[in-house]
Amino acid sequence: MEFTSAASVEEATALLVEYGTAAQILAGGTDVMLQQARGEISAGVLIHIGRIPGLVGITGNGSVRIGPLTTHRSLARSRLVLMTAPALAEAAATVGGWQTQAVGTIGGNVCNASPAADTAAPLLVAGASFELTGPRGTRTVVGDSFFIGRRQTARATDEILTAIVLPHHPERTGDAYLKVGRRSAMEVAVVGLAARLTLDVDGTVEGARIAACSVAPTPMRIAEAEEILQGSRMESEAIAAAGEALTRAVSPIDDARATAAYRTRVLPGLLARALGVAAARAERGVG
C-alpha cells in the first residue's frame, strides 16, 4: 500500500483521477485504518488530505460553514455550533472516546456513511448541504440526497467533500440529539435521534424536522412524523402519533449491539425527550 499526502484540493482530486478505485482518501483515519486492518477495504494508495489548507474550521456569517477536517472535539466545543446547532455538538461529543474525537473528522464521519454515523441526523435536521469538489468543479448536494445507501453517498469517486454548510438559523428554533448506546459515549449508536423545532410566539410548531440513525441502511428524515408535528402545539396526542409514525418509517436490523425490536421500542420515548429539549431551546432562542 502506498501513502501520499496532497497539498491542495486540486492535487488530491488529480490523484483520485490517476489512481481510480485503488485510491482511498485518508483524513483522521479512525475508520479507514480499522477497515484496512480488518480487510473490509484494500486501498492501493492512501491519499492523506490532512495538510490541505482551508479544509478545517468553523465560520459563520448567517450560514455556518464547517470544514470537513474539523474534528469532533472542535465541533463539540464550538460556540457557533453550540449556539446554532447544539444537536451537532451533542452528537460530536458522543463519537467514541476523547482519542477518537481528537482525530476523527466530520467529513470522515459523513463520507464513511455508516448507518450509525452520529453527526448525520443533526446535519439532516439542520438542512445541511454538502460541497463536493472534483475535476469538473464544485457542486452542492442537499442533505437528504447525500446519503444514498449503506456506506454510499452522492460523492463521486474523484470528488472530495470540501465543506458542510448549515443554512441560516431561523429565530425561535431549537434542536437536540439523543443517542442510545450500551454506554452513552465511546460506543456506536444503538439508535440516534435528532429533532429540530421552530416555534411560533404562541408555541405552535411552525417547522419540525426529525432524523434518525442506526434504524435503516442510511441515516434518514422521518417525513410523516414531521408532518404530524407541524401546526401542532406539541400536545401529547401529536407527540404519540409522531412516535408511531417514526416506528412505522424505520427498518432496523438485529445486530451485535441490539435487536430490531429493541431499537423500535425505544424510539417513541427518545423522540418525546428530544422534542422536549428542542422546544425548550427554541423558546430560549438557543440552537
Ligand X SMILES: Cc1cc2nc3c(=O)[nH]c(=O)nc-3n(C[C@H](O)[C@H](O)[C@H](O)COP(=O)(O)OP(=O)(O)OC[C@H]3O[C@@H](n4cnc5c(N)ncnc54)[C@H](O)[C@@H]3O)c2cc1C
Residues at the interface with ligand X (CB under 6 A): 24-32, 34, 49, 68, 94-96, 100, 104-105, 107-109, 111-112, 116-118, 155, 160-161, 187-188
Tell me how far apart the terminal alpha carbons of the chain are, to the nearest angstrom.
Answer: 44
Residue whose CB is less far from ligand X, 30 or 74: 30
Residue whose CB is less far from ligand X, 6 or 271: 6
Residue 101 CA, chain-centre distance (Å), reads 14
Grid coordinates given for 252: 432496523
Which residue's beta carbon is nearest to the bound ligand X? Answer: 108
Residue whose CB is less far from ligand X, 117 or 242: 117
Nearest to 136 by CA among 13, 285, 4, 265: 13
Helix (H, G, I), strand (E, B) or coil at 191: strand
Least gap, CB of 42 to ligand X (angstroms): 13
Least gap, CB of 67 to ligand X (angstroms): 9
Residue whose CB is less far from ligand X, 132 or 205: 132
CB-CB neighbours of 206 under 10 Å: 15
Least gap, CB of 113 to ligand X (angstroms): 8
Residue whose CB is less far from ligand X, 177 or 245: 177
Q: Is 82 left (phi over 0), alpha (psi -120 to 50) or beta?
A: alpha
Least gap, CB of 100 to ligand X (angstroms): 4
Least gap, CB of 30 to ligand X (angstroms): 3
DSSP for 110-149, please give it.
Answer: HHHT-TT-TTHHHHHHHT-EEEEEETTEEEEEEHHHHEEE
